[in-house]
Amino acid sequence: MTILLAPMEGLLDFVLRDILTRVGGIDRCVSEFIRVTGTLLPDRVFTRIVPELNNGGRTLAGVPVRPQLMGSDAVCLAENAAKLAALGPDGIDLNFGCPAKVVNRHGGGAALLQDPELLATIVSAVRRAVPQHVPVSAKMRLGFHDDRLAVACAQAIADSGADELVVHARTRADAYRPPAYWERVADIREAVPIPVVANGEIWTPQDAIRCREASGCHALMIGRGMVVNPGLALAIARPGHPPVQWADLLPLMGAFWELVATRVEPRQRAGRLKQWLNFLRRHYPQAEEAYVAIKSINDSTLITRHLVQIGAAPA
C-alpha cells in the first residue's frame, strides 16, 4: 500500500510534515497550496512554503514532497509550474478541491469542478510546460454542489495528461462532514486509466481497510487522521507494528516546538503547538492535560519550561 500525507492549509505545513515523516509509514507528501494569481512567483515563494526544495525535494526523513499549485489561469499556472519544476521537486500537484469560500469566490479550488473543460485546459497547459520526467498530479473533490460531474472531471484531468489523481470522497458542499463516499471513488477509478488515490475519513487502520475495499484503490491519502495519531500510517503499512505511545511522541513534540521556535513567526508559535495538541487529545488522553496546561500561555519561554517538565524537551 502507498500512503500519502495530505495537504492542509494552516495545519500540515513543512514543520508538521518534518515531524510526521520521522515516525514512518508515509511514502510521499503533498504541500499546502501555493496560490497563483496572475504573476510569475519568485523562487523564494516556492521555497518558503516548501523548504524541502532546498533538501532535494524531501523532508529530513527522506520522504518526497510534491508542491501543490492552486489557481484558475491556465497560462499563469503553466508558467509557474515550469519555474517550480526547475527547482527539482518530486512532481507538481494541482489543487481542484479546496472548499474555502475565499478561494472558490475567485474561481479556484473546488469551484473548478463546475467546468471540466477548464480543468482539461489547465492540466494540458501544465503538462506541456513541465519536463516529461516530472510527474503532474491533481487532487479533486467529488464536485462542487453535488457529484454529478465527478467522473467527467476525473476524465478531463486524466485525458489531459495527469499522471495521478487523488479524490477526496466528498463534495465541496459536504465540506469535512462524514461520511466519505468511497464507493464514488471506485466509479472514478474504473473510468480513468491513471492511478487513483482515495482520501477522506481515514482515522484508523480499520477505516483504511474499508476505504480500500470500497474504492478499490491501492493508495490512500491521509490528513487529519495523521495529525491526531502520528502512528496511523505506520499502523496501516505494517500491521502488528507496536503503536506510537505518548512517551514515543514526547521527543517529537520537543522537535516540533524547536522547529516552530526557529522557523515560525513569534506571534504564531504558541498557537501552532496548541493546535497540534488540540488534535492529539482526540487520541492521547495525556494530550488533554498538556493542552489545558498551556491553553492560556503565549510566552514561548513558559511553554518551553512546561515541555521540559513533561519530558518533551531537554532541560
Which among 169, 187, 186, 167 is positioned nearest to 177, based on CA atoms? 169
pTM (two decimals): 0.95
* Domains of the chain listed by start with CATH number: 2-237 (3.20.20.70), 246-309 (1.20.225)
Is 153 marked active-site? Answer: no
Task: State what percent of residues in the chain have pLDDT above 90.
Answer: 96
The stretch 135-159 carries a mean pLDDT of 98
Please classify residue 226 by burial: count the beta carbons closer than 10 Å to its beta carbon, then call 0-12 exposed, 13-18 middle and 19+ buried.
Answer: buried
**pLDDT, position 97:** 96
Q: Centre a 10 Å sphere on the Cβ of residue 255 and count the other Cβ atoms it contains.
A: 17
Whether the predicted pLDDT of 56 surpasses 90 = yes
Please classify residue 168 by burial: count the beta carbons closer than 10 Å to its beta carbon, then call 0-12 exposed, 13-18 middle and 19+ buried.
Answer: buried
Per-residue pLDDT of 302-315, as tens digits, reads 999 999 999 998 86
Exactly one of 29, 76, 98, 217 is catalytic; name it: 98
For residue 133, which amino acid is it? H
Whether the predicted pLDDT of 111 surpasses 90 = yes
Per-residue pLDDT of 150-159, as tens digits, reads 999 999 999 9
Whether the predicted pLDDT of 272 surpasses 90 = yes
